[in-house]
């Protein structure tokens, strides 16, 4: 049976269509038209959202958990709870993100997540489209809360073990380019189609450029866990902000980065290369208390998550990040949505079926108020919330 969705306006997100009619069948978009052009299709399930906005489903490339669960738990019910929570906030695709732990624990988590990705057609909310490996290839100096005893020097051999355990589903790897073995590991990962994201790094400007030359094409939570910017030694941050070979993401919660710095970041990277992430942990959507980030205990009060006095992830949701960009940088909804839809899809190389609304694409849509509040989410044409 066909499904038809109508609304006041649709953002593709690059273009907008007034009075749209989106026709869906078998999980894909058949057609997008305006009610000014065609009549309403007959014999179709109809969802009507007058005065509301249709947009592509949001894509979060950095998620550790939510609803009291962590993605490194080897329990399918944990992922289901996380995915249902994300769908309530408009996220239809995501990268479950690991955290530094013992190699044994990372391998078990990767195996579990890889199997979950192979079954991601099951409709229980947002769907995983790959894994983000955050740690253990990061700098001791900029490790944040990642346990120092589990950090290791990057190597092709260790990465290959991770790759095999995941069933070839790792899509992104955060890595510090200054570490011995990093350049070779970045090159190896690129051959496998894995995006190397520079982060948790104390690299100099020159060391960062070596990583980019080797194939790194993104940066992880810009400003956080990075060598500070200096006018004589720009360091990793100077390269991230100025090099057009890199896209970069940011935690736009007003805690990890001041609103003025979010605005600076958006000005530097522009609408084409900026990506919004949440870095959300298990506490997302939960009351204040103590929660897990991997094996770490994290104390959560309000919007702040800390482990031993250091920031440890966030409880940010991606729809709120979009609204924060509208507030912090005075961007319009259509502009802000691109940072959580098309841009991450381009980065991951899935823009041919996700991140934009067009015939033939996956029917992943979010229904929003004009101010960016989520009303309804569709994954594969099925209503989730």
Q: Which positions are annotated as active-site residues?
A: 279
Determine the Cα–Cα distance for residues 357 and 342; give it in Å rounded to an integer.
10
Q: Which residues pair with 48 in a beta bridge?
A: 6
Determine the Cα–Cα distance for residues 8 and 17; give it in Å rounded to an integer.
9
Nearest Cα neighbor of 151 from 200, 191, 109, 101 is 101
Task: Centre a 10 Å sphere on the Cβ of residue 132 and count the other Cβ atoms it contains.
Answer: 27
Nearest Cα neighbor of 283 from 303, 262, 311 is 303
Task: Centre a 10 Å sphere on the Cβ of residue 40 and count the other Cβ atoms it contains.
Answer: 12
Do residues 217 and 346 lie in contact, with contact meaning Cβ atoms separated by under 8 Å? Answer: no
Do residues 6 and 45 lie in contact, with contact meaning Cβ atoms separated by under 8 Å? Answer: no
Report the Cα 299 to chain-centroid distance in Å: 23
Determine the Cα–Cα distance for residues 345 and 311; give it in Å rounded to an integer.
28
């Amino acid at each position: 049976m066909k499904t038809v969705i109508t609304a006041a306006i649709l953002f593709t997100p690059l273009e907008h269509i007034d009075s749209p009619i989106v026709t869906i069948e078998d999980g894909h978009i058949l057609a997008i038209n305006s009610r000014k052009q065609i009549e309403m299709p007959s014999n179709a399930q109809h969802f009507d959202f007058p005065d509301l906005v249709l947009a592509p489903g949001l894509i979060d490339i950095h998620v550790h958990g939510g609803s009291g669960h962590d993605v490194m738990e080897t329990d399918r019910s944990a992922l289901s709870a996380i995915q249902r929570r994300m769908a309530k906030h408009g996220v239809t695709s995501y990268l479950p993100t690991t955290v530094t732990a013992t190699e044994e624990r990372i391998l078990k988590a990767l195996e579990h997540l890889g199997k979950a990705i192979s079954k991601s057609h099951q409709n229980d909310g947002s769907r995983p489209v790959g894994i983000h490996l955050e740690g253990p290839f990061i700098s001791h100096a900029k490790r944040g809360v990642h346990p120092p005893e589990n950090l290791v020097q990057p190597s092709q051999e260790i990465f290959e073990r991770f790759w095999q355990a995941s069933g070839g589903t790792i899509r992104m790897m955060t890595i510090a380019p200054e570490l011995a073995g990093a350049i070779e590991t970045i090159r190896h990962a690129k051959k496998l189609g894995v995006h190397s994201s520079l982060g948790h790094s104390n690299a100099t400007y020159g060391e960062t450029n070596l990583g980019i030359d080797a194939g790194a094409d993104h940066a992880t939570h810009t400003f956080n866990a990075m060598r500070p910017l200096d006018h004589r030694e720009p360091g990793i941050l100077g390269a991230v902000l100025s090099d057009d070979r890199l896209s970069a993401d940011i935690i736009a919660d007003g805690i990890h980065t001041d609103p003025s710095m979010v605005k600076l970041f958006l000005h530097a990277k522009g609408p084409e290369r900026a990506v919004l992430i949440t870095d959300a942990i298990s506490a997302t959507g939960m009351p204040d208390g103590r929660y897990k980030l991997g094996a770490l205990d994290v104390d959560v009060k309000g919007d702040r998550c800390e482990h031993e006095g250091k920031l440890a992830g966030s409880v940010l949701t991606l729809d709120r990040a979009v609204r924060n960009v509208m507030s912090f940088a005075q961007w319009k909804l259509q502009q802000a949505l691109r940072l959580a839809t098309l841009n991450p899809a381009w980065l991951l190389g899935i823009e041919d079926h996700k991140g934009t609304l067009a015939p033939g694409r996956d029917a992943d849509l979010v229904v929003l108020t004009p101010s960016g509040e989520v009303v309804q989410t569709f994954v594969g044409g099925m209503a989730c919330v």
